[in-house]
Structure 1
Amino acid sequence: MTEPWNADTPQVIQLPSGRRIRGRGLRYDLPEGQTPTFAVHLTDHRPADQPWESVWVPWRDFWLPTDPAEAMTELRLAYERAASERVEICCGGGIGRTGTALSAICVFEGMDPKEAVKWVRQNYHSRAVEVPWQRRFIRQTFAAGASGGGRADRP
Protein backbone atom coordinates (compact mmCIF):
# COMPACT_ATOMS: atom_id res chain seq x y z
CA MET A 1 0.00 0.00 0.00
CA THR A 2 1.29 3.45 -0.89
CA GLU A 3 0.62 6.75 0.80
CA PRO A 4 -2.67 8.14 -0.59
CA TRP A 5 -3.04 11.54 -2.21
CA ASN A 6 -2.93 14.38 0.26
CA ALA A 7 -6.37 15.98 0.50
CA ASP A 8 -4.94 19.38 -0.44
CA THR A 9 -3.14 18.16 -3.57
CA PRO A 10 -4.24 20.27 -6.55
CA GLN A 11 -6.82 18.65 -8.85
CA VAL A 12 -7.44 15.73 -6.46
CA ILE A 13 -11.07 14.95 -5.80
CA GLN A 14 -12.37 12.77 -3.02
CA LEU A 15 -15.17 10.46 -4.09
CA PRO A 16 -18.04 9.70 -1.70
CA SER A 17 -16.37 6.35 -0.92
CA GLY A 18 -13.27 8.19 0.30
CA ARG A 19 -11.13 7.23 -2.67
CA ARG A 20 -9.03 10.11 -4.00
CA ILE A 21 -8.23 10.49 -7.70
CA ARG A 22 -6.37 13.26 -9.48
CA GLY A 23 -7.54 14.60 -12.82
CA ARG A 24 -4.95 16.41 -14.90
CA GLY A 25 -4.26 17.98 -18.27
CA LEU A 26 -1.11 16.61 -19.91
CA ARG A 27 -0.47 19.92 -21.67
CA TYR A 28 0.45 21.43 -18.33
CA ASP A 29 3.42 20.86 -16.05
CA LEU A 30 3.25 18.04 -13.56
CA PRO A 31 2.09 19.52 -10.25
CA GLU A 32 4.69 19.64 -7.51
CA GLY A 33 4.49 17.19 -4.67
CA GLN A 34 3.24 13.64 -4.80
CA THR A 35 3.32 11.72 -8.05
CA PRO A 36 0.85 9.05 -9.10
CA THR A 37 1.53 5.37 -8.69
CA PHE A 38 -0.89 4.55 -11.54
CA ALA A 39 -2.22 6.70 -14.37
CA VAL A 40 -4.79 6.30 -17.14
CA HIS A 41 -3.92 8.39 -20.21
CA LEU A 42 -6.92 9.24 -22.42
CA THR A 43 -5.27 10.54 -25.60
CA ASP A 44 -5.25 10.02 -29.34
CA HIS A 45 -1.54 9.07 -29.34
CA ARG A 46 0.61 6.94 -27.07
CA PRO A 47 2.02 9.16 -24.33
CA ALA A 48 5.69 9.27 -23.34
CA ASP A 49 6.81 6.76 -20.75
CA GLN A 50 6.41 7.86 -17.15
CA PRO A 51 8.33 6.77 -14.06
CA TRP A 52 5.08 5.29 -12.68
CA GLU A 53 2.81 2.59 -14.04
CA SER A 54 0.34 3.80 -16.65
CA VAL A 55 -2.08 2.57 -19.28
CA TRP A 56 -3.11 4.22 -22.52
CA VAL A 57 -6.71 4.37 -23.66
CA PRO A 58 -6.91 5.65 -27.27
CA TRP A 59 -9.44 8.49 -27.15
CA ARG A 60 -9.63 11.49 -29.51
CA ASP A 61 -10.40 14.93 -28.13
CA PHE A 62 -14.17 15.66 -28.03
CA TRP A 63 -15.01 12.04 -28.94
CA LEU A 64 -15.27 8.66 -27.24
CA PRO A 65 -12.70 5.95 -26.62
CA THR A 66 -11.75 3.89 -29.67
CA ASP A 67 -12.68 0.76 -27.70
CA PRO A 68 -15.28 1.69 -25.07
CA ALA A 69 -15.27 -1.75 -23.42
CA GLU A 70 -11.49 -1.61 -22.95
CA ALA A 71 -11.79 1.94 -21.63
CA MET A 72 -14.32 0.83 -19.02
CA THR A 73 -12.06 -2.05 -18.00
CA GLU A 74 -9.15 0.36 -17.45
CA LEU A 75 -11.33 2.86 -15.59
CA ARG A 76 -12.65 0.08 -13.36
CA LEU A 77 -9.05 -0.91 -12.63
CA ALA A 78 -8.21 2.72 -11.80
CA TYR A 79 -11.22 2.90 -9.49
CA GLU A 80 -10.22 -0.27 -7.67
CA ARG A 81 -6.59 0.82 -7.33
CA ALA A 82 -7.63 4.25 -6.01
CA ALA A 83 -8.66 2.53 -2.77
CA SER A 84 -4.98 2.16 -1.84
CA GLU A 85 -2.91 3.99 -4.46
CA ARG A 86 -2.41 7.45 -5.98
CA VAL A 87 -4.37 7.20 -9.24
CA GLU A 88 -4.41 9.88 -11.92
CA ILE A 89 -6.79 10.22 -14.88
CA CYS A 90 -5.51 12.55 -17.58
CA CYS A 91 -6.07 13.81 -21.11
CA GLY A 92 -4.73 16.75 -23.10
CA GLY A 93 -6.58 19.56 -21.35
CA GLY A 94 -7.84 17.64 -18.33
CA ILE A 95 -11.50 18.61 -18.85
CA GLY A 96 -13.64 16.67 -21.36
CA ARG A 97 -12.20 13.17 -21.54
CA THR A 98 -10.92 13.32 -17.98
CA GLY A 99 -14.30 14.60 -16.75
CA THR A 100 -16.09 11.89 -18.69
CA ALA A 101 -13.85 9.22 -17.15
CA LEU A 102 -14.32 10.64 -13.66
CA SER A 103 -18.10 10.66 -14.22
CA ALA A 104 -17.97 7.00 -15.29
CA ILE A 105 -16.00 6.26 -12.11
CA CYS A 106 -18.75 8.01 -10.13
CA VAL A 107 -21.20 5.55 -11.69
CA PHE A 108 -19.01 2.80 -10.14
CA GLU A 109 -19.66 4.63 -6.84
CA GLY A 110 -23.39 4.06 -7.37
CA MET A 111 -24.40 7.45 -8.79
CA ASP A 112 -26.85 7.66 -11.65
CA PRO A 113 -25.40 9.29 -14.82
CA LYS A 114 -26.93 12.76 -14.39
CA GLU A 115 -25.87 12.87 -10.75
CA ALA A 116 -22.36 11.71 -11.71
CA VAL A 117 -21.88 14.48 -14.28
CA LYS A 118 -23.27 17.09 -11.90
CA TRP A 119 -20.99 15.88 -9.08
CA VAL A 120 -17.89 15.97 -11.29
CA ARG A 121 -18.76 19.45 -12.54
CA GLN A 122 -19.18 20.65 -8.94
CA ASN A 123 -16.12 18.90 -7.51
CA TYR A 124 -13.64 18.76 -10.37
CA HIS A 125 -14.31 21.17 -13.29
CA SER A 126 -17.42 23.09 -14.29
CA ARG A 127 -16.99 22.18 -17.99
CA ALA A 128 -16.29 18.47 -17.46
CA VAL A 129 -18.07 16.17 -19.93
CA GLU A 130 -18.08 18.53 -22.88
CA VAL A 131 -20.26 16.94 -25.56
CA PRO A 132 -23.58 15.03 -25.67
CA TRP A 133 -22.06 11.72 -26.76
CA GLN A 134 -19.79 11.76 -23.70
CA ARG A 135 -22.93 12.02 -21.53
CA ARG A 136 -24.39 9.10 -23.53
CA PHE A 137 -21.21 7.10 -22.81
CA ILE A 138 -21.83 7.61 -19.08
CA ARG A 139 -25.49 6.56 -19.46
CA GLN A 140 -24.35 3.42 -21.27
CA THR A 141 -21.88 2.72 -18.48
CA PHE A 142 -24.84 2.86 -16.09
CA ALA A 143 -27.02 0.71 -18.37
CA ALA A 144 -24.26 -1.91 -18.52
CA GLY A 145 -24.49 -2.23 -14.76
CA ALA A 146 -21.23 -0.28 -14.34
CA SER A 147 -19.47 -3.59 -14.79
CA GLY A 148 -16.83 -2.28 -17.15
CA GLY A 149 -18.14 -4.49 -19.89
CA GLY A 150 -20.61 -2.18 -21.59
CA ARG A 151 -20.36 -0.89 -25.15
CA ALA A 152 -20.82 2.75 -26.04
CA ASP A 153 -21.40 3.46 -29.71
CA ARG A 154 -19.47 6.26 -31.35
CA PRO A 155 -21.62 9.09 -32.70
Structure 2
Amino acid sequence: MTAPGRGPTLRWVDEPWDAAAPGVLALPSGRLVRGRGLRAPLPPGPLPRFGVHLTGRPIGPLDWDGCWVRWPDFRLPRDPDDLRRALAEAWERAADERVEVACHGGTGRTGTALACLAVLDGVPPDDAVGFVRVRYRRRAVETRGQRRLVSGFLG
Protein backbone atom coordinates (compact mmCIF):
# COMPACT_ATOMS: atom_id res chain seq x y z
CA MET A 1 0.00 0.00 0.00
CA THR A 2 1.39 3.44 -0.88
CA ALA A 3 0.26 6.75 0.59
CA PRO A 4 0.20 9.78 -1.73
CA GLY A 5 3.65 11.34 -1.86
CA ARG A 6 5.21 8.59 0.25
CA GLY A 7 6.84 5.24 -0.24
CA PRO A 8 5.20 1.92 0.57
CA THR A 9 3.67 1.53 4.01
CA LEU A 10 5.38 -1.37 5.72
CA ARG A 11 3.86 -3.27 8.63
CA TRP A 12 5.74 -5.74 10.77
CA VAL A 13 4.20 -9.21 10.64
CA ASP A 14 5.35 -11.81 13.16
CA GLU A 15 5.93 -15.45 12.43
CA PRO A 16 2.66 -16.84 13.82
CA TRP A 17 2.29 -19.23 16.72
CA ASP A 18 2.46 -22.90 15.81
CA ALA A 19 -1.25 -23.77 15.71
CA ALA A 20 -0.49 -27.25 17.09
CA ALA A 21 1.53 -25.97 20.07
CA PRO A 22 0.07 -26.43 23.55
CA GLY A 23 -2.14 -23.53 24.62
CA VAL A 24 -2.60 -22.04 21.15
CA LEU A 25 -6.24 -21.32 20.33
CA ALA A 26 -7.24 -20.87 16.69
CA LEU A 27 -10.15 -18.44 16.41
CA PRO A 28 -12.62 -18.75 13.51
CA SER A 29 -10.97 -15.80 11.72
CA GLY A 30 -7.67 -17.65 11.68
CA ARG A 31 -6.12 -15.51 14.41
CA LEU A 32 -3.97 -17.55 16.79
CA VAL A 33 -3.76 -16.62 20.49
CA ARG A 34 -1.74 -18.47 23.11
CA GLY A 35 -3.16 -19.01 26.57
CA ARG A 36 -0.89 -20.05 29.40
CA GLY A 37 -0.31 -20.12 33.12
CA LEU A 38 2.32 -17.79 34.47
CA ARG A 39 3.32 -20.32 37.16
CA ALA A 40 4.59 -22.69 34.47
CA PRO A 41 7.91 -22.10 32.72
CA LEU A 42 7.80 -20.02 29.57
CA PRO A 43 7.18 -22.42 26.66
CA PRO A 44 10.02 -22.92 24.18
CA GLY A 45 9.88 -21.05 20.92
CA PRO A 46 9.19 -17.46 19.97
CA LEU A 47 8.10 -14.92 22.53
CA PRO A 48 4.79 -13.10 22.33
CA ARG A 49 4.77 -9.61 20.89
CA PHE A 50 1.83 -8.59 23.14
CA GLY A 51 0.41 -10.09 26.31
CA VAL A 52 -2.71 -9.59 28.41
CA HIS A 53 -1.99 -10.48 32.03
CA LEU A 54 -4.95 -11.26 34.27
CA THR A 55 -3.72 -11.16 37.85
CA GLY A 56 -4.54 -9.62 41.21
CA ARG A 57 -1.26 -7.69 41.16
CA PRO A 58 1.01 -6.51 38.34
CA ILE A 59 3.70 -8.96 37.29
CA GLY A 60 7.35 -8.06 36.80
CA PRO A 61 8.90 -6.63 33.65
CA LEU A 62 8.62 -8.73 30.52
CA ASP A 63 10.42 -8.87 27.21
CA TRP A 64 7.26 -7.94 25.27
CA ASP A 65 4.56 -5.30 25.20
CA GLY A 66 1.50 -5.96 27.29
CA CYS A 67 -1.21 -4.77 29.59
CA TRP A 68 -2.42 -5.78 33.03
CA VAL A 69 -6.05 -6.34 33.95
CA ARG A 70 -6.64 -6.44 37.70
CA TRP A 71 -8.45 -9.73 38.18
CA PRO A 72 -8.24 -11.71 41.44
CA ASP A 73 -8.29 -15.50 41.19
CA PHE A 74 -11.77 -17.11 40.97
CA ARG A 75 -13.39 -13.70 40.69
CA LEU A 76 -14.23 -11.23 37.94
CA PRO A 77 -12.10 -8.36 36.66
CA ARG A 78 -12.19 -5.32 38.94
CA ASP A 79 -12.97 -3.10 35.94
CA PRO A 80 -14.77 -4.89 33.07
CA ASP A 81 -14.01 -1.93 30.77
CA ASP A 82 -10.27 -2.57 31.29
CA LEU A 83 -10.84 -6.14 30.17
CA ARG A 84 -12.81 -5.05 27.10
CA ARG A 85 -10.09 -2.58 26.08
CA ALA A 86 -7.29 -5.11 26.63
CA LEU A 87 -9.06 -7.85 24.69
CA ALA A 88 -10.01 -5.51 21.84
CA GLU A 89 -6.32 -4.61 21.48
CA ALA A 90 -5.30 -8.27 21.75
CA TRP A 91 -7.82 -9.26 19.06
CA GLU A 92 -6.61 -6.50 16.71
CA ARG A 93 -2.95 -7.31 17.26
CA ALA A 94 -3.49 -11.07 16.86
CA ALA A 95 -4.15 -10.46 13.15
CA ASP A 96 -0.41 -10.08 12.57
CA GLU A 97 1.38 -10.46 15.91
CA ARG A 98 1.91 -13.23 18.46
CA VAL A 99 -0.51 -12.51 21.31
CA GLU A 100 -0.75 -14.33 24.61
CA VAL A 101 -3.31 -14.23 27.40
CA ALA A 102 -2.16 -15.42 30.82
CA CYS A 103 -3.15 -15.72 34.47
CA HIS A 104 -1.38 -17.67 37.21
CA GLY A 105 -2.86 -21.08 36.42
CA GLY A 106 -3.94 -20.54 32.81
CA THR A 107 -7.43 -22.00 33.25
CA GLY A 108 -10.14 -19.82 34.80
CA ARG A 109 -9.27 -16.22 34.00
CA THR A 110 -7.29 -17.12 30.89
CA GLY A 111 -10.06 -19.40 29.63
CA THR A 112 -12.63 -16.69 30.30
CA ALA A 113 -10.60 -14.10 28.39
CA LEU A 114 -10.08 -16.53 25.50
CA ALA A 115 -13.84 -17.16 25.40
CA CYS A 116 -14.41 -13.38 25.28
CA LEU A 117 -11.91 -13.17 22.39
CA ALA A 118 -13.89 -15.90 20.65
CA VAL A 119 -17.02 -13.77 21.06
CA LEU A 120 -15.17 -10.79 19.56
CA ASP A 121 -14.19 -13.08 16.69
CA GLY A 122 -17.80 -14.03 15.95
CA VAL A 123 -18.49 -17.09 18.09
CA PRO A 124 -22.00 -16.75 19.58
CA PRO A 125 -21.70 -15.85 23.29
CA ASP A 126 -23.66 -18.93 24.38
CA ASP A 127 -21.21 -21.17 22.47
CA ALA A 128 -17.93 -19.47 23.42
CA VAL A 129 -17.22 -21.38 26.66
CA GLY A 130 -17.71 -24.71 24.89
CA PHE A 131 -15.58 -23.49 21.98
CA VAL A 132 -12.67 -22.77 24.34
CA ARG A 133 -13.12 -25.93 26.43
CA VAL A 134 -12.86 -28.10 23.30
CA ARG A 135 -9.95 -26.22 21.72
CA TYR A 136 -7.92 -24.91 24.69
CA ARG A 137 -8.58 -26.57 28.06
CA ARG A 138 -11.40 -28.82 29.14
CA ARG A 139 -11.82 -26.99 32.49
CA ALA A 140 -11.45 -23.44 31.14
CA VAL A 141 -13.84 -20.83 32.59
CA GLU A 142 -14.11 -22.11 36.14
CA THR A 143 -16.95 -20.20 37.80
CA ARG A 144 -20.57 -19.35 37.13
CA GLY A 145 -19.66 -15.64 37.24
CA GLN A 146 -16.98 -16.16 34.60
CA ARG A 147 -19.53 -17.93 32.35
CA ARG A 148 -21.95 -15.01 32.82
CA LEU A 149 -19.15 -12.58 31.92
CA VAL A 150 -18.61 -14.41 28.62
CA SER A 151 -22.31 -14.64 27.75
CA GLY A 152 -22.79 -10.90 28.35
CA PHE A 153 -19.42 -9.75 26.98
CA LEU A 154 -20.76 -7.76 24.03
CA GLY A 155 -23.97 -6.66 25.71
- TM norm structure 1: 0.89
Which 4+ runs in 1 deviate beyond 6 A? Answer: none
1:20 alignment partner in structure 2: 32
Question: Structure 2: 5+ residue runs without aligned partners?
Answer: 1-12
Q: Which residue identity lines up with residue 58 of structure 1 in the other structure?
A: R
Q: Using the TM superposition, give the Cα deviation of residue 142 of structure 1 relative to its aligned residue in structure 2, in angstroms.
A: 3.0
- Tell me how many residue pairs correspond in the alignment: 143
Distance in 2, Cα, partners of 1:70 & 1:44: 13
Q: Using the TM superposition, give the Cα deviation of residue 114 of structure 1 relative to its aligned residue in structure 2, in angstroms.
A: 2.2
1:54 aligned residue (66, 77, 80): 66
Identity of matched residues, %: 50
* Larger radius of gyration between Structure 1 and Structure 2: 2
Q: Using the TM superposition, give the Cα deviation of residue 129 of structure 1 relative to its aligned residue in structure 2, in angstroms.
A: 0.6
Distance in 2, Cα, partners of 1:49 & 1:92: 15
1:146 alignment partner in structure 2: none
Q: Is the 8 A contact 2:55 2:103 kept in 1?
A: yes
Distance in 2, Cα, partners of 1:115 & 1:124: 14
CA RMSD of aligned residues (A): 0.9
Distance in 2, Cα, partners of 1:55 & 1:142: 21
Q: Which residue identity lines up with residue 73 of structure 1 in the other structure?
A: R
2:130 alignment partner in structure 1: 118
Q: Is the 8 A contact 2:69 2:83 kept in 1?
A: yes
2:75 alignment partner in structure 1: 63
Q: Is the 8 A contact 2:28 2:122 kept in 1?
A: no
Q: Which residue identity lines up with residue 81 of structure 1 in the other structure?
A: R
